[in-house]
Amino acid sequence: MDHLMAADGEKTSEPPALVPARMVNEFIYCPRLFHLEWVQSRFAISDDVEEGLYVHRVVDEASSDLPDPDEHLERFAGRKSRSFWLSSTELGLTAKLDIAEVDSAGLVVPVDYKKGAPDPHGKVWDTDRIQSLIQALLLRDAGYPVEQAEVWYNETRQRMTIDITDQTLSEVREVLIHLHEVASDPQPPRPLINSPKCPRCSLVGICMPDEITTLRPHEKPRPRRLLAADPDNRPVYVQEQGTVVGVRRGRLEVFKEGQTLASYRLIDVSQLCLQGNITVSPQAVRELMAREIPICWFSYGGWFAGMAQGLPGKNIDLRKSQFTITSEQQTAIASRMIEAKIRNGRTLLRRNSRNLPEHAPGQLLDLAKQAAEATAAPSLLGLEGAAARIYFSHFTSMFIPDPPVQTDRFDTNGRARRPPPDPVNALLSFLYSLLVKDITATLTMIGFDPYYGVYHRPRFGRPALSLDLAEEFRPIVADATVIQLVNNREIRAHHFLQKAGACQLTADGRKAVIGCYERRMAHEIKHPTFGYRVTYRRALDVQARILAAHLTGEIPEYTPFTTR
């Protein structure tokens, strides 16, 4: 389906073609869910979805053909046809029927399989009833006599009957008129407010109903606890040089010289991160792409070099909004991001510094306020630079008195890179690469183009939007990890190599840093805006979706992530 926007801003979306009956079910449940799934092609697997697929396995294998409607159907009484498609351009509908049975009177009865149970009143759920009526409509349109439809509820093991009447069919046609109106609008409907439907919705982590409603003006309901499950899968890092990564029997395996070094279930893997000269088999690349698991490449020194994934995101409306944003809007978003970066750095210093001068927090607070009001990128750059000089001049005051690595050189060098000249700079550079990698994967999954930002200018090979969003998370994720590594003595002097003025981590050093970084990303905090607890990894995802909601016009301004 194409959505076109005329020069005067008038919507000129083409009407949708065939609507799947399952999407009508989703529309009855929640029009916003329908819009996200069908119009924007955004989909998520949940336990309920997996359970539904399991229940459907008994009817997913096509068998037998439904007799021609011109035949004497009574002769085919008892025949069952499984898993076949019917479509009608006149109705604008298509459906995959689980079962169609021919009874002794020659009538055809569609039977829809559901994993759950009838509603609390012992009746068929409205969503299921409409979906079954659509199947009956399609069968009638194909010429078959249909007077009843049935729904099979697997949980209670019972069949429920639905009578096909002119009144019920008229109800379906009214639903379809409303559905096409919603589908023709590029903007999704507003989220449901405090609805009991949301907790079990598979797209709750994408829809974010409470968060979007909270950020709308004049709508301030108390957000409920985060409904989206924190994913159990985690990134896999491979840094043993000369190894080969492959897949075998549903597992991701790392080999070297015929020996298996590591093996993970594919369902437990969220990213494959390769550092240096690692080979990935074509079968593994294909399987990872099919599962939408990104492959991230780093140079041996830890520079984030690139990423490969499957087909690009289908959320074209988001990318259109991203590329058509005005320079004023870009600056407004960037100013909030830099304000958050300065405030989060100030908070980190106040929490951890052992001898912070009294004037430093005040200076940073003033710069944060000025950044929030900046109206041009050059002035924002100047404010960010001034804040960075103050912040990094006191950075080593957050370390313990006798640190396990040489930190005093950072006081002389300041923040330096390409190459980092001392251990602290080496840690910061490597951790910033890991953070940008995670944000790039998150932005790409949501549907952004990570190379077109609002603050960092586009440049070949630079994920500008990832660098933008990383700004507010650098102090509280990457810098905080450096402090933890040093103060907990998880990093030592022998974890660094010094060559020609450049300092870099050894393989053991990188392993220690990655372990600490992943613990930081899994650390739970209270969300500063919504009040529920989230991991930093989920906070990245929420923040990227808030940015998407702002760019597509769902919320009036971008709210950054700022700790207190």
Tokens describing residue 202: 């598979």
Q: For residue 257, give the 3-state DSSP assignment.
A: coil
CA atoms of 66 and 63, how far apart (whole Å):
9
Tokens describing residue 376: 């041009």
Q: Which of 54, 260, 93 is nearest to 179 (CA)?
A: 93
CA 517 to chain centre: 20
Q: Which of 184, 131, 172 is nearest to 10 (CA)?
A: 184
Q: For residue 186, give the 3-state DSSP assignment.
A: coil
Pairing of strands 234-238, 269-275: parallel
Q: For residue 389, give the 3-state DSSP assignment.
A: helix
Tokens describing residue 287: 């399987």
- R_g of the chain, CA atoms, integer Å: 28
CA atoms of 102 and 77, how far apart (whole Å):
5
Residues of the binding site: 384, 456, 471
CA atoms of 391 and 353, how far apart (whole Å):
11
* Amino acid letter, residue 48: D
Q: Which of 489, 465, 528 is nearest to 223 (CA)?
A: 528
Residues of the binding site for Mn(2+): 384, 456, 471
Tokens describing residue 412: 């002389």
Tell which phi-psi region holds residue 257, choosing left (phi > 0), alpha (psi between -120 and 50) or beta. Answer: left
Tell which phi-psi region holds residue 324, choosing left (phi > 0), alpha (psi between -120 and 50) or beta. Answer: alpha
Q: For residue 101, give the 3-state DSSP assignment.
A: strand
